[in-house]
Structure 1
Amino acid sequence: MKTKVALITGGYTGEAEISYKSSAFVYSQIDKEKYDVFLIDITPQSWEYIDQDNQKHEIDRQDFSLNINNEKIHFDVAFIILHGTPGEDGRLQGYFDMIGLPYTSCGALTSSLTMNKGYTKAIIQDIDQLNVAQSVLLFDIDRPNASEVVKNKLSLPLFVKPNAGGSSIGMNKVNTWEELPKALEDAYDAEGTGKQVLVEEFVKGREFSQGIYRDSKGELQVLPATEVITTREFFDFEAKYTPGLTQEITPAEINADQKNRADEIIKEIYIRLNCKGMVRVDFFLQNETDKFYFIEINTIPGQTPQSFIPQQVKASGRTATEFYGELIEAALIS
């Protein structure tokens, strides 16, 4: 009998657009001979499965089951490819924990923590050979005086971003103090990010993104790194999703020492944050010092054909089908 997989997509934020693209690619790559895959769309309006005849079937949220032609379908595992709320911030994971359904991503606490960039930095800042940029975490109560708080504590240039956002939505680079108020407004007003803002001093260096996951044998597998070279001011939403604006080199051209250090740092980040499944860590390699600076961790990284993780899986010699099967099997035994 095939394993029944609920492939979760959609979402409550602007990142839903990317979720649909990611889940379409994952669906196309999963081994249908081994897995019976149901694409479940979760939106603020409904949780539903649309069958091949375009018929909609509402999920029973009591036990996350389906009723199709009077047959009750229970899933063996949830494969979460939902970026942003509620799939990346721990809400869906907490629900699945309560009903006892295994899933492929990090647990509820880790997912919730890592959506908060400021809190994540506090947990990983003492990891050996890992550095974090000077920063200020602003809450909604700080909004009236946010510019003055930043000026008193940080130096230009700066990155201003929603503390709980993704896909660089609401993020700006600030080169002058005159640019700061608008950047703060953009970050505070970004949809579904909790009205918290993280402001960080700019680190000049090469930018990398690297995946890591735990396989079905319990072993950590670090994927080859990707270097990101963009024609934009920084790797913003347009650079991420507009063809031609960014050059992505996988595997990255780094020396053996840099590779070994990056691999060990990323493993320690994964362990320190108690991660599960696949995650992606973004970091800078500072030009002057050759030191690694943490940017952020993504616990539901993009899975479009152009996304970093599929690139890295291919560069590692694996197929996407093998990789996604490994994530499903690891979730079933965890």
Structure 2
Amino acid sequence: MKKRIAIAMGGYSSEYRISINSGNVVYKNLDRSIYEPYRVHIMQNEWFVVADDDTPYPINKSDFTVKIKDKKIQFDCVFNTIHGTPGENGLLQAYLDLVGIPQTSCGFYQAALTFNKRDLISVLKPYGIKTALNYFLNQGDEVEVEEIINKVGLPCFVKANKAGSSFGITKVKAAEDLEQAVKIALKEDDEVIIESFLDGTEVSVGVIMYKGKILALPVTEIVSENEFFDYEAKYLGKSEEITPARISKEQTKKVQNLAKLIYSKLKMKGFTRSEFIFHNDEPHFIEMNTTPGLSEASILPQQAENAKISLPQLFGSAIEAALKVH
């Protein structure tokens, strides 16, 4: 009997359109001989299944079921493609735990931790993971410009602490621009992280659970046409993504092992994509995405293709791993 898979997409953040694109790619590429996929839109005001004729059918939130033409559908697994809240910060994972449905991304604690850049850096430091110098601000705090610059220097990056797809990020080159950058970040979140600029090669490393083993995918080098890997660079073609990265074999092995170490220490599952910058020849951790983009042009599918893993194999492996863990 085919497994019924709810592909959760959308979300409550600025990233919902990107998520819907990822979800539709999963829907298109799941093996129909094994799975019966359903597109589930998780929106702020309503959750519903989109049928093939585009008719919406509301999800019953008490048990995550749906009634389609008088037939009650119970899902065997949820494929989580939501970027941002509630799919990347642990809320959806916790809810699905409560109703007893397995899902493909990490657990609710890991999701909440990795979505909070400040907390994640604090947890990884005892393992010797190198990061940029950083300074933390909360909404309502005084912006002590001189103190911040003395700590992180210029240029620096001002980021919303809990946001993705480069929303709320500014590269600050002059002291007089710092306060405005903080205001931009606070539009996305009530917490801000300010980081020192790391000069070097930026790379992205996908790590997945594949055939029962933790696998680091080929490394991607990111070359942005803009000041940094911002929204335009990520989604509007303003960057070059080179897989495999133009780094040495030793550097490749080092950053892959580091990405796998982080995955293992955090007790992750599903797909992750971690960003690093080789600064002074050492990989410095930037952030981890636990529901990375899954369109054909996204980085993790590019890496899987380079590793000779097809999209049906990639997506199917995530479902089977989730079902096995459950």
With normalisation by structure 1, the TM-score equals 0.95
Q: Which residue of 1 aligns with 2:163?
A: 165
Report the counterpart of residue 256 of structure 1 in structure 2. 249
Structure 1, residues 16-65: CA drift from partner, whole Å, max 9, x if none? 01001111111111111110000000101210012123222100001000
Selected match of 1:327 from 318, 321, 324: 318
* 1:229 matched to 2:228: no
Task: Render the CA deviation track for 1:282-314: whole Å, top value 9, x for unaligned.
Answer: 00011xx20111110000001111110010000
Residues 58-92 of structure 1, C-alpha deviation per residue, up to 9 Å, x if partnerless?
00001000111221111000000011010100000
Q: Report the CA distance between 1:151 and its aligned residue.
A: 3.1
Match runs of 1:49-68 below 5 Å:
49-68=49-68
Q: Report what 1:26 is aligned to.
A: 26
**Which residue in the other structure is 2:199 paired with?**
204
Verify: 1:214 aligned to 2:225, yes or no: no
- Tell me the residue number matched to 1:316: 307
Deviation of 1:152 after TM superposition, in Å, equals: 4.4
Computed over aligned residues only, the root mean square deviation of the Cα atoms, in angstroms, reads 1.2
Q: CA deviation at 1:215?
A: 2.4
Give the letter aligned to residue 234 of structure 1.
Answer: F
Which of 281, 284, 309 is the aligned partner of 1:293? 284
Find the partner of 1:265 among 258, 263, 267.
258
**3-state SS of the aligned residue for 2:60?**
coil
Partner of 1:138: 137
1:306 pairs with 2:301: no
C-alpha distance in 2 between matches for 1:324 and 1:67: 26
**Residue 332 of structure 1: how far off its partner (Å):** 0.2
Do the aligned partners of 2:143 and 2:179 also contact (CA within 8 Å) in 1?
no
Whole-Å separation in 1 of the counterparts to 2:7 and 2:74: 13
- The DSSP-based 3-state class of the residue aligned with 1:54 is coil
Structure 1 residue runs of 5 or longer lacking an equivalent are: none
CA distance in 1, matches of 2:147, 2:88: 30
Q: CA deviation at 1:216?
A: 4.2
Q: Deviations over 1:181-202 (max 9, x none)?
A: 1111100112xx3x10000000
Match of 2:271 among 278, 302, 306: 278
Q: Report if the CA contact (8 A) 1:138-1:146 is conserved.
A: no
Following the alignment from structure 1 to structure 2, what is the Cα–Cα distance between the partners of residues 222 and 271? 11
Where structure 2 has 5 or more consecutive residues not aligned to the other structure, the ranges are none
1:238 maps to amino acid: E
Q: For residue 111 of structure 2, what is the aligned residue in structure 1? A: 111
Instruction: Give runs of aligned pairs for residues 77-88 of structure 1, distance below 5 A.
Output: 77-88=77-88
Amino acid at match of 1:262: V
| Aligned-pair CA distance for 1:145 | 3.0
Instruction: Confirm or deny: 8 A CA contact 2:90 2:112 kept in the other structure.
Output: yes
> Given residue 134 of structure 1, which amino acid in structure 2 is its aligned partner?
L
* Same amino acid, percent of matched pairs: 37
Total equivalences in the alignment? 325
SS at match of 2:179: helix
Does the alignment pair 1:37 with 2:31? no
TM-score, normalised by the number of residues in structure 2: 0.97
Residues 41 and 146 of structure 1: CA distance in aligned 2, closer, same or farther (over 3 Å)? farther
Amino acid in structure 2 at the alignment position of 1:132 = T
Shift of 1:255: 1.4
| 1:278 positional shift | 0.5
